[in-house]
Amino acid sequence: MRPSGRATDQLRTVSLEPGFSKYAEGSCLVRFGDTHVLCTASVDETVPRFLKGTGLGWVTAEYGMLPRSTHSRTDREAAKGRQSGRTQEIQRLVGRALRAVTDRAAMGEKQIKVDCDVLQADGGTRTAAITGSYVALHLAFQHLLEIGAIKRMPLTDAVAAVSCGLYQGTAVLDLDYAEDSNAQADANFVLTGNGGIVEIQGTAEEKPFSEAEFNALLGLARKGVDELVALQKAALAVTT
């Protein structure tokens, strides 16, 4: 029934390629099927002004799409001179997701800037970005541990994300573009390895949905995130 032939509760083929970037302190190329996002984590010794002197660190994120990552070309935001509302929404979401599993006192007064750049987009770029960013951030923290810049790992749990939606009346996991552009409703779930909810963003595209439908989506998301967290662990195991 799904355009891709997947089962309703089946993720796309997911791969996490840590260390894709030579220079970043942490990096990961994440692929959810044909959605490919390069995530890099860069250490910055300065914190935003409101944190100066507090002993706390900060994790922030930026997001962008290459102009031809999309099915038809999208205008370059740098050329237009402004980031779209969608871009800002996504990068704020990624930053919040990562901070929710970060002990900022353990970081000390430093900042990690995570860049999520979409090389190819087939739906679900924001959930792929969160999933890959966690790996990049973990690697950057490992690097800081190795050089003695921090004393303990600031990450308190894993975090990953997946979208679910109502497609032709059925709840399905991990929407691709063909599904996303025809879904009755869709929701992005950011969950932790321990099952905590970090963020839920559910939107009725066409008509309102019911609580039962919402619970079905959440159930699928739990299954999907559990699988993503296992992949994150496997990817990080390789690098240490």
Q: Which residues are annotated as a binding site?
A: 86, 124-126
Task: Round to whole Å and give the CA distance between 218 and 128.
Answer: 17
Of 81 and 148, CB closest to a copy of itself: 81
**Interactions with a copy of itself, residue window 146-175 (CB under 8 A):** 157
User: Which of 133, 141, 120 lies closest to 33, judged by CA?
Assistant: 120
Of 85 and 237, CB closest to a copy of itself: 85
**Interactions with a copy of itself, residue window 178-197 (CB under 8 A):** 187, 191-192, 194-197
Among 10, 15, 19, 34, binds a copy of itself (CB under 8 A): 34
Q: Does 53 bind a copy of itself (CB under 8 A)?
A: no
The values of phi and psi at residue 24, to 5°, are: -65, 145
**Cβ-Cβ contacts under 8 Å for 2 (sequence gap 6 or more):** 8, 167, 172, 179
Tell me how far CA of residue 65 lies from CA of 37, 38, 116, 166, in angstroms: 9, 10, 8, 26
Of 7 and 196, CB closest to a copy of itself: 196
Task: Round to whole Å and give the CA distance between 158 and 102.
Answer: 10
Tell me, rounded to whole angstroms, the distance of Cα 89 from its chain centroid: 13
**Interactions with a copy of itself, residue window 56-115 (CB under 8 A):** 62, 64, 66-73, 76-79, 81-89, 91-92, 96, 100, 113, 115
**C-beta atoms surrounding 151 within 10 Å:** 10
Can you give the binding site for a copy of itself, defined by CB under 8 A? 21-24, 27, 34, 38, 40, 42, 44, 62, 64, 66-73, 76-79, 81-89, 91-92, 96, 100, 113, 115, 117, 119-120, 122, 157, 187, 191-192, 194-204, 207-211, 214, 218
